[in-house]
Amino acid sequence: MLDRRPTDPSAVNHLLSTVLMRELYRMGAMNSGEYANDSFIGEAHRSADPKVNERIKQLVDRAQRLEEQKLKANPNDVEALYARGVTRAQFALYTALIERAWFSALRNAVSARHDHERVLELDANYVDAKLVVGTHNYVVGSLPWSVKVAVAMVGLSGTKEKGFEYLRQVAESNGENSIDAKVVLSLFLRREHRYDEARVGMHDLALRYPGNYLFPLEEANLLRAGGHAPEAAAGYRKVWQNGREGKYGNLHYEMAAWGLGELMRGQKDYAAAAAAYELISSAPDPGPETLQKANLAAGEMYDLLQKRDLAMKKYETVLAENGTTPLAQKAREHIREAYRE
């Protein structure tokens, strides 16, 4: 598309989105559970590929140059304003989740919101612009009161209610952002512990995209979070079986086994949890972080089952995989002293 339309910033943005999402997936940063609370701020992932890093920055620069050219000719060019907001929003995602530069991400996110608010001033029917504005409203509305006062002093405001209203409008539209809005809406509903509502969107997307394991996996996660353990277990097993049958290609469907292990662990069925964690090593190409995490968890289950020899083997496997991670440090602690809850 970009080859055919080299001066179209929206074409650049589409390629930018593809490259960015692929890299976040490769890094292991597409697990929705991390964003159900604020733990993602300190969550470490694999480092980004330097070549991909550079390509993302080049695409951002290319899009911004094209957008500024159009806006210099016409400051009220709605399409150019919308495109610039998209570029800034994606760069905010990049700086937050790849560079871990939170203040830079905030600046880009605020700029993206301002661009799309201006789009809505010029064209109130431009529903796609409500994705960024709605997301930002929810985030600002979720801040502690003292922080809200501080951001209000620099002209920022927002409420969760308005955020949800905008996101629902986008999700129910036939616009380009309707799928993204359903994903974001489901994530925010999960943060609010409104699991059944969140599951509606995930179920719809799971049916619509049968080759993407992330949607049925999230549906199972929401069932678990909502206290529907048997249904969640069935969901995890179905994702695992579909993966074994090749329905997800080379995607990391082993996350279903991790979810099943966590469910069984929460029910104190340690033998079933260990068996689920052990499944991960049988996946074709499991993510290294997931595999190491699963081996550590399996070792902990064996310790609770008083199978110390098996536990020690799992801890030694964790160290052999990568001895420099926080997981490896926990394995060393468990080697010195058996794990206990």
3-class state of residue 43 by DSSP: coil
3-class state of residue 49 by DSSP: coil
The Cα-based distances of 87 to 39, 48, 130, 258 in angstroms read: 26, 19, 15, 34
For residue 174, what pLDDT is reported?
Answer: 86
For residue 104, what pLDDT is reported?
Answer: 82
Give the helix/strand (H/E) hosting 51.
helix 50-73
H-only helix segments in 98-154 = 102-122, 130-141, 145-152
Q: 296 and 331 in contact (C-beta within 8 Å)?
A: yes
For residue 45, what pLDDT is reported?
Answer: 62
Q: Crossing angle of helices 78-97/102-122, nearest 10°? A: 160
For residue 158, what pLDDT is reported?
Answer: 81
Q: What is the mean pLDDT of each run of 10 residues along the chain (341 residues)?
A: 95 96 85 64 70 95 98 97 97 87 83 96 97 92 70 72 96 93 94 94 94 95 95 98 95 94 97 98 91 97 98 98 94 97 88
DSSP assignment, residue 42? G
H-only helix segments in 142-177 = 145-152, 160-171
Length of the chain: 341
For residue 34, what pLDDT is reported?
Answer: 67
Q: Please give the full DSSP string across 275-303, using - where no structure is assigned.
A: HHHHHGGGSSS--HHHHHHHHHHHHHHHH
First to last CA, the chain: 54
The Cα-based distances of 4 to 12, 16, 55, 83 in angstroms read: 11, 16, 19, 18
Q: Which two tokens stand for residue 85?
A: 């907001």
For residue 148, what pLDDT is reported?
Answer: 64
286, 340, 17, 36: which is closest to 186 by C-alpha?
36
| Alpha-carbon radius of gyration of the chain | 22
Q: Which two tokens stand for residue 166?
A: 């905008």
For residue 217, what pLDDT is reported?
Answer: 95
The Cα-based distances of 302 to 21, 261, 288, 340 in angstroms read: 37, 13, 21, 10
DSSP assignment, residue 324? T
Residue 161, C-beta contacts closer than 8 angstroms, at least 6 positions apart: 141
For residue 98, what pLDDT is reported?
Answer: 84
